[in-house]
Amino acid sequence: MQIIASVLSLLVSSAVLIKPVSAAVGDSPAIVVAIDAFTDNTELCYTFKTLIHAKGFPNAPIFAFTAIDLSQETIDNLYSCTTRPLSFIDVKDLHADFPPSVNVLPGVSYEYAQTQRFMSTRMWDQPALAPYDVIMRVSDATCLTFDDEDLPGFPDSPELDHQFDYKSYTVPNELQPTQHTEGIYELTLSYLSLREIAEPTEGLWPQLSADYHVHNKLSKFSDDFEIVRKSFMQTTAVRDYMEHLTENEVSADLFFQRKWSAGTLRKMAVALFLPFFVVSDQHIPGVVEKDFLAGNLFPSICRNPPIQ
């Protein structure tokens, strides 16, 4: 893969000493965004500007993983939207690669599915992220409207003996259309049986299971905001499970054709492999998601905060 940002920018973002203002001690966070053909780069600029409100680690860098060619004008404009170190990393080769069992149909775009695959399995070993242990993911729809003294790191845990490993949120009472989740639950159960793993009896799993059995639907974590401890996504169990869903001979074609979302798969993985007390699924005050479908971009609160 080719790093298309300047070498200087990458060196600065990797070497910068990230000092927390008041966030969890020991965290070294980075901010990531995936740019593909669906990304509105004008709105992404506004997202970058609102990161001024992430006060916990003001020097934490941004890594933009790009699956499309960006014009120099677009790159220069995005650089101007933030004072944080910003690097663009070309992942087009990964988007061109398919698991052998996928029936690639002519005239069908798999851009969305490849982005979800990247965020589910392939992002976590990117060399650019090696120095960082906490990843905050944003999108062109993300908007921070209040100052937060922890972001892009985790908030301090109310318990004294642990830190959080995952933070995001689910829109209350929102379940995903069945056509975009078909097969996930069944393949997850087959995975648990294959690996002789018992279904959890507490935390998020019982509600996920109930939603499936009552509504034949699943909920998901936000597509536009999450904080993840990288070591969680790199554990053997999580890697194995995610690859079972995205790369497996039985499941990969369903993943691509049904457009499973990274937010759905992430919620399943968190429910299966993290104890509930290291998960925060409470919405963060001030985090707003723009509604592109409804045309509500919240310009009065999501545009042009001062860059300092």
Residues near 186 by beta carbon (within 8 Å), at least 6 away in sequence: none
Tens of each residue's pLDDT in the chain, 308 residues:
434 333 333 333 333 334 444 455 568 999 999 999 999 999 999 999 999 999 999 999 999 999 999 999 999 999 999 999 999 999 999 999 999 999 999 999 999 999 999 999 999 999 999 999 999 999 999 999 999 999 999 987 666 578 899 999 998 889 999 999 999 999 999 999 999 999 999 999 999 999 999 999 999 999 999 999 999 999 999 999 999 999 999 999 999 999 999 999 999 999 999 999 999 998 889 999 999 999 999 999 998 765 54
Strands 287-289 and 142-144: antiparallel
140 and 41 in contact (C-beta within 8 Å)? yes
What CATH number belongs to 7-154+165-302?
3.90.550.10
Nearest CA among 284, 277, 278, 162 for reference residue 228: 278
pLDDT (0 to 100) of residue 155:
85
Which two tokens mark 287? Answer: 């985090």
Per-residue buried b or exposed e for 259-282, using 16+ beta carbons within 10 Å of the residue's own CB: ebbbbbbbbbbbbbbbeeebbbbe
